[in-house]
Amino acid sequence: MPKVWIADKMSSRAIEVFKTRGVDVDYKPGLSDEEKLAIAGDYDAIAVRSSTTLKGGLLDAAKRVKVIGRAGIGVDNIDIEGCSRRGIVVMNTPFGNTITTAELAVSHIVAAARMIPQASASTRAGKWEKARFMGMELTGKKAGVIGAGNIGAIVCDRLKGLHMSVFVYDPFISDERAAAMGVAKIETVEELAETVDVLTIHVPLLDATRNLINADIIARMKKGSIIVNCARGGIVDEDALYDACKSGHLRAAALDVYANEPARDNQLFELDNISFTPHIGASTDEAQENVAVQVAEQMSDYLLSGIVKNAVNVPSLSEEEQRLLAPYLLLTERMGRFIGQTMKPGYSRVKVSFEGHASHINRKPLINTMLQGLLSQSMEDVNAVNAGMLAKDRGIEVAEFACEAQDRFSTLIKLEVEGDEGNRCVSGTLFDESRPRFVSFDTCDVEMAPEGNLIVIQNEDKPGMIAAMGGVLSAANINIGDFRLGRREDAKTAVAIIQVDTSPSQEVLDQLAALPDMLVVRYAKLGAM
């Protein structure tokens, strides 16, 4: 039974989900660094929020971990590259707190426009400063939204409900998507800043978005505009924001996130036209329960069924995709493992071609699984998560091709590997859309189920070769379960794939290789399907 450690405070619903699914779970939030290090190696999975940082020594100590689940969106506290190299799937829950975070952003916009926090503090202090708190009406104003993803799209919808004209900067959405949302798409941040009265940010913190809202962008905004950031600290240049709010160029700003958190000492706190919350975008009862349930469901699905959802370092698969791809994943893993055992390491290029039906499916998981099968024969701790990265680290070029055209098979996958030993290739298909089969080896047509103990032979195409091979195996008391032949007329060579009931010893393989006119003898152990 897989075992999960919930390392941060989380709704008890997560525990219920794990137990209902048949996953052992320990709820141990708030441990010291030493205590975390002491137990990290006991678990197959770790669920966190933002308090536990899975980097460095703690990640090194989590040697059994296969999946890390973040109950929330941001994964800043997790070493994604380090996890990928270790073959650990990292998941987040991008939908559990989208509405809650969007609502907070809209609340900040309204509060900043009407100076509600400042008016509340003044009134509580016994003052009655009606003239001081002259606000800005939002109806008819122009709102700018940077990032129209899960949260940004909801913000757009809510702002339209306030009868604002909404403009969006997001290079990843199409004109058609913008039209369907009922917003105007703007091509640059500079143009957006010059157009709108309110600017709200909903993108992750990346190298490309760090200080995206800087002094130049703020200077382009209309005098009396408002900036709201409920996304990530560091996207807005806090020094530039300070200057603009202090000078009065900006009417107001509102922040839920900061460059350095927890933000206990920040120069922005000096200004009374900026309102603040302590990173509470996801802090509602509904959101906390949603993300806890979602992360537990996702992690259980992966641990028990291999289903990947909302992963940030590998392609995600729905249950339907998992069912569709299952026979393909088995085929591609066997293809990679077959070449990995029949070709010596020292690979320089891998080419994968998808034809017919195979060209229309989600191919990235298939390539990862194929690389896993190939590299696992000469490397340890390779899986579908880290195989691509390990191949890149070793200078192996991976090329992918897809073609709808069909030849003899309605679906076909071909793996070609180049390396120090030359070239090897194997092609595979599915019989009845479910049964993996090899259909060629080194451009020679030869059909075989990819299972069991396979002796692969290339030889000069001369009489007596089959009898000689059979004689060696018979003398070693090795029974032949299947014997498939192919030939290349132009090269006058033949290929044999012999499925045997027991593993041949190296002595037997050497005897086969010593036969006259023998070119290549290799052995691949693929196991049962």
What secondary structure does DSSP assign to 54-82, as a single string?
Answer: B-HHHHHH-TT--EEEESSS--TTB-HHH
Determine contact, residues 473/508, Cβ cutoff 8 Å: yes
Sign of CA dihedral 109, 110, 114, 119: negative
H/E run at residue 46: strand 45-48
Residues whose CB falls within 8 Å of the CB of residue 387, separated by 6 or more in sequence, listed in order: 368, 369, 371, 372, 374, 375
> What pLDDT was estimated at residue 489?
64
Q: Which of 70, 232, 334, 337 is catalytic?
A: 232
The residues pairing with 228 across neighbouring beta strands, listed in sequence order, are: 200, 254
> What pLDDT was estimated at residue 65?
96
Q: Which amino acid is at 81?
A: E
CA dist., res. 266 & res. 462, Å (int): 84
CA dist., res. 202 & res. 314, Å (int): 23
Q: Which of 191, 194, 261, 447 is catalytic?
A: 261
The residues pairing with 67 across neighbouring beta strands, listed in sequence order, are: 45, 89
CB atoms under 10 Å from CB of 240, counted, come to 17
CA dist., res. 493 & res. 295, Å (int): 56
Q: Exposed, middle or buried: residue 528 (CB in 10 Å: 0-12, 13-18, 19+)?
A: exposed
Q: Which amino acid is at 302?
A: Y
Structure tokens at 480: 């032949």
Residues whose CB falls within 8 Å of the CB of residue 324, separated by 6 or more in sequence, listed in order: 361
Q: Which of 70, 279, 334, 337 is catalytic?
A: 279
Task: Supply the CATH classification number for the domain 98-276.
Answer: 3.40.50.720
Cα R_g (the chain), whole angstroms: 30
Q: Which residue has the tokens 């350095």?
A: 260
User: Using omega within 30 degrees of 0 as the cis cutoff, is the peptide bond preceding 262 cis?
Assistant: yes
Sign of CA dihedral 232, 235, 238, 242: negative
Determine contact, residues 318/306, Cβ cutoff 8 Å: no
Residue 422, classed as helix, strand or coil, is: strand
- Quote the CATH superfamily of domain 3-95+286-305: NAD(P)-binding Rossmann-like Domain (3.40.50.720)
> What pLDDT was estimated at residue 394?
80
Structure tokens at 149: 């993803």
User: Tens-digit pLDDT profile for the chain (529 aa)?
Assistant: 899 999 999 999 999 999 999 999 999 999 999 999 999 999 999 999 989 999 999 999 999 999 999 998 888 899 988 998 888 999 999 888 889 999 999 999 999 999 999 999 999 999 999 999 999 999 999 999 999 988 999 999 999 999 999 999 998 788 888 999 999 999 999 999 999 999 999 998 888 899 999 999 999 999 999 999 999 999 999 999 999 999 999 999 999 999 999 999 999 999 999 999 999 998 898 999 999 999 999 999 999 988 888 888 887 777 777 788 889 999 999 999 999 999 988 899 999 999 999 988 889 889 999 999 999 887 777 878 888 888 887 889 999 999 887 778 889 999 999 988 889 999 999 998 889 999 999 878 889 999 999 999 998 988 999 999 999 999 999 999 999 998 876 668 889 999 999 999 999 999 999 999 999 999 999 988 7
DSSP for 79-106 reads: -HHHHHHHT-EEE--TTTTHHHHHHHHH
> What pLDDT was estimated at residue 314?
82
DSSP for 340-351 reads: HHHS-S-EEEEE
Task: Supply the CATH classification number for the domain 319-527.
Answer: 3.30.1330.90
Catalytic annotation present for 49: no
Residue 434, classed as helix, strand or coil, is: coil
Q: Order of strands, edge to edge, in the sheet holding 198-201?
A: 184-185, 165-169, 142-146, 198-201, 225-229, 250-255, 274-276
Domain extents for the chain?
3-95+286-305, 98-276, 319-527
Catalytic annotation present for 261: yes
Structure tokens at 222: 């209309």
CA dist., res. 92 & res. 282, Å (int): 13
Predicted model pTM? 0.65
Catalytic annotation present for 249: no
Is-same-fold flag (3-95+286-305; 98-276)? yes
